[in-house]
Amino acid sequence: MSKDLLLARARGLWEDLAGVPVPFPPTGGVRVGVSPRSGLCPVGWVGVVALGGSAIVTAPSERDAATVRDALKGLTVEAVVDAASVGGVLPVAEVLGPAALSYVSEEGFRPTAGPAAVERLPGRHPALRGLERAAGREDTAEASLDEMTSPAFVVREGGEVVAAAGYALWPHRTAHISVLTAPDVRGRGLARATGSAAVAHALAAGLLPQWRARPPASRRVAAAMGFEELGAQLSIRIASLSR
């Protein structure tokens, strides 16, 4: 699959999640739409997704969209997914991201076996809860293992699950990858091993794997497996738009 096709599929996903017709404009453009229930961000927030040099933005009301459209018109596409740049033109009360959005094709995928055997478990297996406790609330929320619809691909040590990966089935036949590793075993290739198994499973099902990540370490894992960073996602709550 070419990069252009990857980009087209990724854009189709986020246009669908926007909840209203707001197609990505030509390269260099930013398009703002009104979507009270946008899937680009939490309800009541402003969501921004940039892919391939253009961006779409959703706001919860016509008034809010006009405010955001006017504020962002002087920013580049790169700047509209930069929290500091957006904070310079809008009164940002809270922010999520930015998170890099990466995708991989079957041809570009670089699988790895890793240093340990990967076991397959049901996605809701109770053994995953112990890993989440070990990883802590913040990393667990980032990974969202509880949202997986696929099997879980795990590594055990001493009978305990210390790394796991899987994916949630999103619209447009997209597999949103989740990976979580216990803090005391990181840096040993376990994220690549479990993530690789999850990605291979998704590709075999004809799905488009998506890797969304903020931490640099997670982005490096994705790059090592052949994922291409095509853009970023940012969610912002604007003080003047608070209800």
- pLDDT-derived band at 242 (thresholds 50, 70, 90) equals very low
Write down the pTM of the prediction.
0.92
Amino acid, res. 69 = R
Distance between CA atoms of 158 and 209, rounded to whole angstroms? 31
Half-sphere exposure of 78 (CA within 13 A, CB side): 0
Least confident piece of the model among 2-6, 38-42, 78-82, 190-194:
2-6
In 3D space, the residue among 160, 143, 148 whose CA is nearest the CA of residue 124 turns out to be 148
* Beta strands 54-59; 92-103: pairing state: unpaired
pLDDT for 240: 67
Residue 243 clears pLDDT 80, i.e. is over it: no
Asked if the peptide bond before residue 98 counts as cis, ω within 30 degrees of 0, the response is yes
Distance CA 226, CA 12 (A): 21
Phi, psi of 168 (to 5 degrees): -105, 135
Tokens representing 42 are 């939490």
211-224 burial: b if 16+ Cβ within 10 Å, else e? bbbeeeebbebbbe
Tell me how far apart the alpha carbons of residues 145 and 165 are, in angstroms, rounded to a whole number. Answer: 7
Nearest to 227 by CA among 143, 117, 114, 103: 103
Query: In CATH, what number does 119-226 get?
Result: 3.40.630.30
Digit-coded pLDDT (tens) for 11-50: 999 999 999 999 999 888 999 999 999 999 999 999 999 9
Tens of pLDDT, residue by residue over 85-122, are 999 999 999 999 999 999 999 999 999 876 779 999 99
Distance CA 157, CA 169 (A): 28
User: Contact, 227 vs 208, CB < 8 A?
Assistant: no
| Domain chopping of the chain, boundaries | 3-99+231-241, 119-226
DSSP state of 109: -
Residues near 73 by Cβ (< 8 Å), separated by ≥ 6? Answer: 30
d(CA 125, CA 129): 8
Sign of CA dihedral 13, 42, 169, 141: positive
Q: Which band of pLDDT confidence, cut at 50, 70 and 90, is reported for residue 215?
A: confident
Percent of the chain whose predicted confidence (pLDDT) is above 70: 98
Name which of 190, 230, 12 is nearest 104 in CA terms: 230
